[in-house]
């Protein structure tokens, strides 16, 4: 029976070509606009590390002075070097990592490649297993190398290709900021979206090219970037061990809710101890958020992307309203045909189903055209200068959603016209002929 209804729909399309084209265009334009904005939103708001996002927590403490204090306000979004190193030493989590961003000069020592500046991440050994960083060659450094302030580095695949021409470069020397480092690992393609581990840098930017032990970066006074908030007297060195400045991100891995609750209690006790020692002035105020809670708190999706999403959905609704009108005109214009079918024994349900199948066929055709418009729209998004623009691609899931949305939308648009069509009274239609 379904094949028969499809055949009737094709015949109807051939009879009313102009009306059919208008309906397909209406659906396609709405689907194209909606899927372009929805895909961009989906890419930017996804879980960057779905296998562990509920087990990775971001630590916030409140070490600032009482100046401008407001009860129950959010504590600093970063921690001081003193607190980060203290928490790292005490190792109360399953894994923990402190980090900050920076920039270094790289001298390749390869003919035809001039020295250049690369983004860097100064961190501790657990960074790589905590965040499931895929390594093409070698491995990350160990905690012993952190403690020894070792001259070791992990580099990105792109930097490895640029400096060493690809291949396994572990064990080779790389000159960074006029100091020789031994390459111990090469990161494979990896770009968590957003770059959740540091909300103070470009959230949708490319991966850093160089990863170095935090201790080594401080010994060599390497350049850093990102936000920094200070108070009191920092003695001219804002990155010193005792400087009253927050500029370091601190993450901890906890494998159960019970461990998370215990770790938060530990942070409360730690804050109480620091206040008793005179370092903290404010009442205890700590936060411990997992990855998705941290992203929600930071509202990572740009406002313009959210606005475009709502505009895309609104445009789709307008297109559906127009499609309802076109379907209504088309079905009611076929009142005599429907009356004959009803007189020959077709039930109202059969008429209703036939009309919905025809509406679904319109949706399928609109989905195919809408897919092309979506790809064109995403190409236009990728031409924008925003750092997230290159991420706007249609994956398999969104591809299937395009067709599902177009068919469902057209069927919904066809409900009222189909209901009106099945109400046609055979006797009245036959008398009017």
226: left (phi over 0), alpha (psi -120 to 50) or beta: left
Structure tokens at 156: 């990105």
Q: Taking the mean position of all CA atoms in its chain, how far away is CA 78? A: 22
What global pTM score does this model have?
A: 0.81
Cis geometry, peptide bond prior to residue 111 (ω within 30 degrees of 0): no
409: phi then psi, degrees, rounded to nearest 5: -65, -45
Closest to 391 in 3D by CA, of 305, 316, 313, 315: 305
pLDDT (0 to 100) of residue 430: 46
Q: How far is 377 from 381, CA to CA, in rounded Å? A: 6
Query: What pLDDT score was predicted for residue 337?
Result: 66
Bridge partners, 250 (sequence order): 98
pLDDT value, residue 13: 66
CB 176 within 8 A of CB 108: no
pLDDT at 50 (0 to 100): 92
What whole-number distance in Å separates Cα of residue 27 and Cα of residue 195? 36
Predicted local confidence at residue 10, as pLDDT: 67
User: Whats the size of the chain, residue-wise?
Assistant: 433
Q: Report the run of H or E that residue 59 belongs to, with start and end.
A: strand 56-60
Q: Which helix (H) or strand (E) holds 276?
A: helix 257-276
Residue 33 contacts residue 316 (beta carbons within 8 Å): yes
Q: Judge whether 48 and 194 are in contact, CB under 8 Å.
A: yes
Q: Would the CA dihedral through 300, 305, 307, 311 be positive or negative?
A: negative
Q: What pLDDT is recorded for position 238?
A: 85
Q: What is the pLDDT of residues 103-155, one digit of tens each?
A: 999 988 777 778 899 999 999 999 999 999 999 999 999 999 999 999 999 99
pLDDT score of 417? 78
* Residue extents of the structural domains in the chain: 2-47+302-431, 62-285
Which residues of the chain fall short of a pLDDT of 70? 1-2, 4-5, 7-13, 233-236, 332, 334-346, 424-433
Exposed (0-12), middle (13-18) or buried (19+): which is 412, by Cβ within 10 Å?
Answer: middle
pLDDT score for 429: 45
Cα–Cα distance for residue pair 230/243, rounded to 1 Å: 8
């Amino acid at each position: 029976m379904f094949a028969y209804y499809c055949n009737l729909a094709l015949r109807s399309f051939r009879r009313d070509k102009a009306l059919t084209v208008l309906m397909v265009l209406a659906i396609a334009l709405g689907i194209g606009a909606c899927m372009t904005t929805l895909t961009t939103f989906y890419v930017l708001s996804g879980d960057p590390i779905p296998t562990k996002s509920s087990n990775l927590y971001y630590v916030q403490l409140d070490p600032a002075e009482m100046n401008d204090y407001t009860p129950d306000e959010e504590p600093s979004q970063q921690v001081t070097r003193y607190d980060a190193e203290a928490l790292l030493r005490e190792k109360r989590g399953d894994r923990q990592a402190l980090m900050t961003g920076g920039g270094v000069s790289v001298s390749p020592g390869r003919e035809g490649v001039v020295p250049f500046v690369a983004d860097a991440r100064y961190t501790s050994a657990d960074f790589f297993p905590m965040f499931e960083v895929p390594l093409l060659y070698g491995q990350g450094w160990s905690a012993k190398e952190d403690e020894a302030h070792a001259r070791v580095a992990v580099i990105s695949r792109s930097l490895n290709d640029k400096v060493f021409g690809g291949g396994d470069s572990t064990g080779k020397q790389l000159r960074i900021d006029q100091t020789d480092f031994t390459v111990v690992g090469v990161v494979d393609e990896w770009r968590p979206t957003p770059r959740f581990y540091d909300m103070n840098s470009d959230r949708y930017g490319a991966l850093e090219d160089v990863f170095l032990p935090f201790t080594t970066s401080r010994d060599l006074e390497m350049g850093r970037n990102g936000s920094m908030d200070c108070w009191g007297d920092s003695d001219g060195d804002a990155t010193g061990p005792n400087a009253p400045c927050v500029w370091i991100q601190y993450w901890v891995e906890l494998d159960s809710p019970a461990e998370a609750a215990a770790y938060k209690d530990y942070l409360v006790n730690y804050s109480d101890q620091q206040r008793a020692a005179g370092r903290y002035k404010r009442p205890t105020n700590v936060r411990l958020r997992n990855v998705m809670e941290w992203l929600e708190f930071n509202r990572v999706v740009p406002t313009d992307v959210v606005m475009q999403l709502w505009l895309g959905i609104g445009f789709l609704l307008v297109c559906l309203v127009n499609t309802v009108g076109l379907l209504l005109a088309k079905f009611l214009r076929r009142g005599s045909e429907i009356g004959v079918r009803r007189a020959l024994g077709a039930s109202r349900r059969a008429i209703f189903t036939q009309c919905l199948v025809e509406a679904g066929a319109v949706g399928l055709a609109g989905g195919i055209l809408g897919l092309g418009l979506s790809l064109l729209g995403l190409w236009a998004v990728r031409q924008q200068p925003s750092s997230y623009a290159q991420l706007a691609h249609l994956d398999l899931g969104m591809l299937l959603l395009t067709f599902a949305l177009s068919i469902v939308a057209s069927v919904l648009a066809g409900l009222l016209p189909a209901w009106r069509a099945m109400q046609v009274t055979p006797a009245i239609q036959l008398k009017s002929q």
